Structure 1
Amino acid sequence: MANRVLIVGGRGRIGSSVAQDILTYTDAEITVTGRDPNGSLPAELPSDRSRYLALDLADSAALRQAVSSSNLVVHCAGPFHYRDAGVLKTCIEAGVNYTDVSDSRSFTRRALDCRELAKNAGVTAIINTGIFPGVSNSMVRRDVEQLDTAEHIHLSYVVGGSGGAGVTVMRTTFLGLQTPFDVLVDGKLQQIKPYTDRETIEFPAPYGKTGVYWFDMPEAITLPETFPVKTVITKFGTSPDLYNHLTWFVAKYWPDSWLKNNSVIEFLSYVSYGMTSVTNNFSGVGVAVRSQVSGIKNGQPAKVRSTAVHPNAATATGIGTGSIAQLMLEGKLTKPGVWSVEQALSTELFEGAMQSRNLNIEQVFL
């Protein structure tokens, strides 16, 4: 019998990208869920191996039934700032493996709190598996492995326009402006305000030199847990640069009460999405990731830098999560517990998955 994969929130652009990757690289049958009782499969998914299921995550009985009928659950129903770990806990109770595209620090903490429950149940749960976080984590792991001692990690990301995703991605950006966050710098935790400390980073073409800003990402908590480093920096920017300046202005000058108001977040998200629908025509919808790890090699200071670029950020997310799903379905990625990508995925498996999907990652010593 074919594997059965349940993709929660699979009708969105991220979820459908994940579904397409799984259908391409496995023989699994896909069930995609959405809240609309009259919903249907995304047009790009083949009906012979896919079906649509109306599912309200608040309906625990329906969720349990859907999970129990699956070999793997992929959670794509963001924004994850709003999500508890209910889907993960349901998977643990049902003994079903789990992965997700989560990108929220608070959700990551809630998921990691379930580590012992998952381990005791023999359930493998891999979180934060998209492009960033996700592929970015594995890029860091591969860079760290090139050094005798890793000390500083600097991760930077840039997305063109909407990234080929829906309005949910816009919500995620503005939700990330709501509160300061802790980061590890020179061995000490520091509290950072979001979208501050602009830095110009050289990304691969077509982005070139692009401004990036502090942004709250799950890697900021999982990488120090995985590697004994002194500093982890996570910075994010957009193209065209106009959006960086507008987001910086909102983060710096708008009252906290506005940024924590759901109506304001919705307004900003839809306005931004409308703007990118125009600028996507010249900015593109791609993504670039740069990992730079500094440390010691053969007794001397050394740096390793990796870069990856893809013309569609939503598709790249599908590659990250789909490759993890494939490895889990094939039994090549089995590690009971809850883990971030760099904690569970070997560099050998990572390189093989990226090569099979033609996602080229350049690595250089500096």
Structure 2
Amino acid sequence: MLEKALQGVDLVVHTAGPFQRAEECTVLQAAISTKTAYIDVCDDTDYSWRAKSFHEQAKAAGIPAITTAGIYPGVSNVMAAELVRAVRSENGEPERLRFFYYTAGTGGAGPTILTTSFRLLGEDVIAYNKGEEIKLKPYSGAMTIDFGKGVRKKNVYLLNLPEVKSAFKILGVPTVSARFGTAPFFWNWGMQAFANLLPAEFLRDKVKVQKLYKSVDPLVRAIDGIAGERVSMRVDLDCSNGRNTIGLFTHKKLSVLVGFATAAFALAVLEGNTQPGVWFPEEPEGIAIEARKLLLERASQGTSNFVMNKPSWMVETDPKEVGLGIYV
């Protein structure tokens, strides 16, 4: 049925749900068999690497495919790749890469982001420290991060996100982690409570999580109307030459931003900037290096704050004393 539906289609965009089993890549397989270009908006580590396992099949079929091609992961991966490339072009070497994300409420995504978040609370956080894989507790390791104008300082917490593993393996950065936070602040308390009190087996059960979501849905929708759906991504890179650089990306509506980001990836594929095979966004065969700038420009339409390759003090909201009473 899928193969028949894809006949004559130039590109298929697949939303891999939060409970999609890693072995289920039927849409990708159908795209390969019908020679249809493919991207997915996936935020599951296991699923993304299962998709990557079809690389040789897609390459043999001459089909370009990108997995995790949304906003985060997706645009955030491309931002990280560009930060790393800039540092290496100056003979530096990346040492630590950190992804920080903030979304007000559910970002207008409702059950999608909630069910994804609940599922992630049932997974150990995979991070990397000096080349070694480490496992950490979900929604632990709180940090206060300054997302700049319009968002300012927010608390963020560790989550198991796919860009951590792909950045470690593809970009070759030895220390990588990802953190996420939301608002109002008490939603973070609730997430910590779920992570600490509910068994992992419960959080991995689709039926039970859907029941949990339905029980809190009315409250979530009411608060979403007040919280809005502002989203911000900050990617920090620390380097061997002492240089610390960041990328920052802020938009007032996550629901709009996801559309721009996905469209940017789709256009990149259709314009021939992706080689045959299955790629992560940070791979140059997935999004050609010379096409990254245009992709970021397209994805950043309507942003209130978008900067790349800047020191953190240039975008943070609190002034820093640089000496002799001079503040920047």
For normalisation by structure 1, the TM-score amounts to 0.78
In the alignment, is residue 254 of structure 1 matched against residue 193 of structure 2? no
Question: How many angstroms does 1:354 deviate by?
Answer: 3.3
Q: Which one of the candidate residues 14, 20, 36 is aligned to 1:75?
A: 14
1:18-59 residue CA offsets vs partner (Å, 9 max, x unmatched): xxxxxxxxxxxxxxxxxxxxxxxxxxxxxxxxxxxxxxxxxx
Q: Compute the displacement of 1:358 (Å).
A: 4.3
The equivalent position to 1:138 in structure 2, one of 70, 78, 84, is: 78
Question: Counterpart in 1 of 2:183?
Answer: 239
Within-5 A mapping of 1:140-155: 140-147=80-87, 148-155=92-99
Give me the identity figure in percent.
Answer: 29
Contact 1:80/1:103 (CA < 8 Å) preserved in 2? no
Structure 1 CA distance, aligned partners of 2:36 and 2:48? Answer: 19
Within 2, Cα distance between the matches of 1:265 and 1:126?
29
Kindly tell me: are residues 313 and 273 of structure 1, through their superposed partners in 2, closer, same or farther at Cα, counting changes over 3 Å? farther
1:365 is matched with: 311
SS of match in other structure, 2:261:
helix
* Residue 309 (str. 1) matches residue 254 (str. 2): no
* Cα separation, partners in 2 of 1:273 and 1:144, compared to 1, 3 Å: farther
Question: What RMSD over aligned residues (CA atoms) do the two structures have, in Å?
Answer: 1.7
The 5-angstrom pairing of residues 96-245 of structure 1 reads 96-147=36-87, 148-245=92-189
Task: Give the letter aligned to residue 361 of structure 1.
Answer: F
Deviation at 1:347, TM superposition (A): 4.8
Structure 2: distance between partners of 1:204 and 1:284: 17
1:56-112: CA deviations, max 9, x gaps? Answer: xxxxxx211111221110002523544611110111111111001011011011101
Using the alignment, how far apart are the partners of 1:349 and 1:290 within structure 2?
A: 21
Provide the residue aligned with 2:325 in structure 1. none
Q: Counterpart in 1 of 2:268?
A: 327
**Deviation sequence 1:271-295 (CA, Å, 0-9, x none):** 4443231122332112100000111
Distance in 1 (CA, whole Å) between partners of 2:72 and 2:159 is 12
Whole-Å separation in 1 of the counterparts to 2:289 and 2:114: 31
2:86 aligns to what SS in structure 1? Answer: coil
CA distance in 1, matches of 2:217, 2:71: 20
Shift of 1:171: 0.7
Q: 1:347 to 1:275 in 2, by over 3 A?
A: farther
Q: Can you list the C-alpha shifts for 1:139-161, whole angstroms capped at 9, x where unaligned?
A: 11111122121111000101111
State the alpha-carbon separation in 2 of the partners of residues 243 and 339 from structure 1. 34
1:341 correspondence with 2:281: yes
From the superposition, tell whether residues 303 and 107 of structure 1 become closer, same or farther in structure 2 (CA, over 3 Å): same
**Is 1:286 aligned to residue 230 of structure 2?**
yes
Shift in CA distance, 187/80, structure 1 to aligned 2, threshold 3 Å: same
Structure 2 unaligned segments of length 5 or more: list them: 313-328
Check conservation: 2:274, 2:288, Cα contact below 8 A: no
Per-residue CA distance 1:162-209 (angstroms, 9 max, x = gap): 111131221111011112143211211111221111111111333221
Instruction: Pick which of 161-170 and 112-121 moved more.
Output: 161-170
CA contact (8 A) 1:151 1:228 kept: no
Partner SS state of residue 99, structure 1: strand
Q: For 1:263 and 1:169, how far apart are their aligned partners in 2?
A: 16
CA distance in 2, matches of 1:145, 1:365: 16
Runs of 4+ in 1 over 4 A off after TM superposition: none
Give the match for residue 319 of structure 2. Answer: none
Partner in structure 2 of residue 267 of structure 1: 211
Is the 8 Å Cα contact of residues 121 and 200 (structure 2) preserved in structure 1?
no
- Matching residue's letter, 1:284: G
Number of matched residues? 301
CA contact (8 A) 2:105 2:229 kept: yes
Amino acid paired to 1:330? E
SS of residue paired to 1:152: strand
